[in-house]
Every structure is written in C-alpha cells, then in structure tokens.
C-alpha cells in the first residue's frame, strides 16, 4: 500500500465511526497489505484524531489468548490506541447509538509512572515503570464488517489492526493495587450480562502473564518509533471471549478482591 492508500483507508474508517455504517474488508480491497501497512493505517487514523483534538491516553493489547489467535490464524498479539473520548465512568451508561456493534472484554489495566521504550524491554522494567494496576472493561466495536457479504470471508488481523484493534472504550474500576500486590496470573473475573454469568477467566490467559503482555507492547512500539509514556493506561489483553452488548445490556465484572467494574448500554 502507498501512503495515500493508508490515509484513504483511515479516512474511510473515521467516516464509518461517525456514520455508524461499516466499511468492507480492507484485506479484500488491498489483498497484498502487510502488517506494517495495517499499522500505517492505524497511525494515519491516530494522526487524524489528534488533529481533531483528541489526546492519546494509552494503548490496548489484543489477541493475547491462544483461542483468539487461532481464530484469526496468527501467532502474535496486536495493539491499538486509547483516546481521551473513550473513557466511561465505572457504573456509568454508554449513550444509545454511540457504537455500531459493541462487545465487552474483561482485562487488567496498567497505569504507568515512567516511560518504557526499546526492543529489549524486560519484565522487571515494566514492573518498575508501573504505578498501579486496576480491574477494567474494554469496549470493542468494529468499523469494518466482520465478514465479507459476497465471499463469506472473515476479516483478518490486517483489518483488525487497521481498525485500531477494534478499540472503542475503556471502563476502569475504582480499586488500585501495586503491580506486585497480586499474582496477576491468578487474578480473574466472573463477567455477567444482565445478571447471567457469560464468561470467566484468569490473567494467565494473557500470554501466561499480563506483565509479559506489556513487555510485548513496548517492544512492538519500538519497531514503529513509539514508546509508552508516564500516566498512560495499558489494557493488557482480555482473558475472556468478547460479550455482545445490545441496547439495554448491563455488564458487571467481579474480580473478587481485585475489584469490580460495570457499565450499562442505553
């Protein structure tokens, strides 16, 4: 893909977000697109949002579980950008029509106190740079069709990365913990929709260790000349399958001693 094609694809994604009308698969429009192309589309999207006044507040990591990687036929995670207009209050309500096809994932969030950069970042460096961890929900949305209506082909990781890793919103719980206060591999959640348990999982589902997920992100960002900044929020990856959230849904994630998070959809 050319730089002009990267910008055009990003523009189409932004229009889909504004209009609520999904676009076709970029992987079909550009069959030879690479992962670098996908991140270039994401970067063009990020630049456009910044020009519109949005602020970057962090990053999300996706496709950290083996189940999700197998579903897309890849063996590495992906990442996306968190913006200031994506934050929803714990216990709050997402306005009607804000998203196209919202889904929820339960995650452990890292809030950083020091920058992290470089392709040799270690687990100890991530721990030293973390201010605290907290329970969180990520709201997913997709500005790209999940399946091509003509061929029946599902979207690929190229589509997902281009679409800001399907990122749409974040809900942080009020509990705050030191990064070593819990063995994060054993931090889990019972996630309910409208009072019914939909999913359960443990932090170990995230690359066997959510800290290692942040290590992966820092190293990936170094490849694209980026770094994690102080104060940024890092969503380390979901340890449950996405839960569909049609209008009227109420999602609650009970992390036990780690805390609770909930959000409603009008």
User: What pLDDT score does 155 carry?
Assistant: 86
pLDDT digits (tens, 9 = 90+) for 223-265: 888 999 999 999 999 999 999 999 999 999 999 999 999 999 9
Whether 4 is in a domain gets the answer: no
- Examine residue 10 and state whether it is found in any structural domain, yes or no: no
pLDDT, one tens digit per residue, over 197-209 is 999 999 999 999 9
- Range with the poorest average pLDDT among 38-47, 54-63, 148-157, 186-195: 148-157
Residue 239 lies in a domain: yes
> Can you give the CATH number for the domain in which 152 is found?
3.90.850.10
Alpha-carbon distances of 173 from 87, 130, 194, 219, rounded to whole Å: 12, 17, 18, 27
Beta-strand relationship, 167-172 and 87-88: parallel
Is residue 32 domain-resident?
Answer: no
pLDDT value of position 135: 98
Q: Is residue 155 included in any domain, yes or no?
A: yes
Number of domains in the chain: 1
In a domain, 211, yes or no: yes
pLDDT in tens, 64-98: 877 667 666 666 788 999 999 999 999 999 999 99
Residue-wise pLDDT tens digits, 31-76: 999 999 999 999 999 999 999 999 999 999 988 877 667 666 666 7
Look at strands 56-62 and 78-83 and give their pairing.
antiparallel
Does residue 143 fall inside a structural domain? yes
- Position 46 in a domain: no
Residue 68: which domain range?
A: 55-265
Tokens of 103: 């889904």
Confidence (pTM): 0.94
Note the pLDDT of residue 77.
85
Query: Can you give the pLDDT at residue 68?
Result: 67
Q: What is the pLDDT of residue 72?
A: 63
Q: What percent of the chain has pLDDT over 70?
A: 97
Q: What is the pLDDT of residue 177?
A: 98
């Amino acid at each position: 893909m050319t730089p002009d094609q990267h910008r055009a694809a990003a523009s189409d994604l932004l229009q889909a977000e504004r209009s609520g009308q999904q676009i076709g698969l970029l992987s079909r429009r550009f069959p030879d697109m690479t992962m670098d192309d996908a991140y270039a589309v994401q970067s063009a999207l990020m630049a456009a949002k910044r020009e519109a006044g949005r602020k970057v507040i962090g990053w999300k990591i996706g496709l950290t579980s083996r189940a999700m990687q197998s579903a897309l036929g890849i063996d590495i995670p992906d990442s996306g950008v968190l913006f200031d207009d994506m934050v929803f209050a714990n216990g709050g309500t997402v306005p009607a029509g804000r998203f196209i096809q919202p889904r929820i994932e339960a995650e452990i969030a890292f809030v950083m106190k020091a920058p992290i950069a470089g392709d040799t970042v270690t687990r100890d460096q991530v721990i030293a740079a973390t201010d605290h961890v907290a329970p969180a929900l990520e709201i997913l949305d997709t500005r790209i069709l999940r399946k091509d209506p003509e061929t029946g082909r599902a979207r690929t990781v190229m589509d997902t990365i281009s679409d800001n890793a399907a990122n749409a919103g974040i809900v942080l719980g009020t509990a705050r913990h030191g990064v070593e206060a819990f063995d994060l591999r054993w931090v889990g959640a019972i996630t309910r929709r409208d009072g019914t348990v939909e999913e359960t999982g443990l932090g170990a589902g995230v690359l066997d260790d959510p800290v290692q997920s942040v290590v992966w992100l820092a190293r990936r960002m170094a490849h694209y000349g980026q770094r994690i900044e102080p104060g940024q929020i890092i969503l380390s990856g979901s340890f449950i399958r996405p839960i569909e959230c049609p209008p009227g849904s109420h999602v609650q994630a009970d992390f036990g001693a780690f805390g609770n998070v909930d959000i409603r959809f009008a």
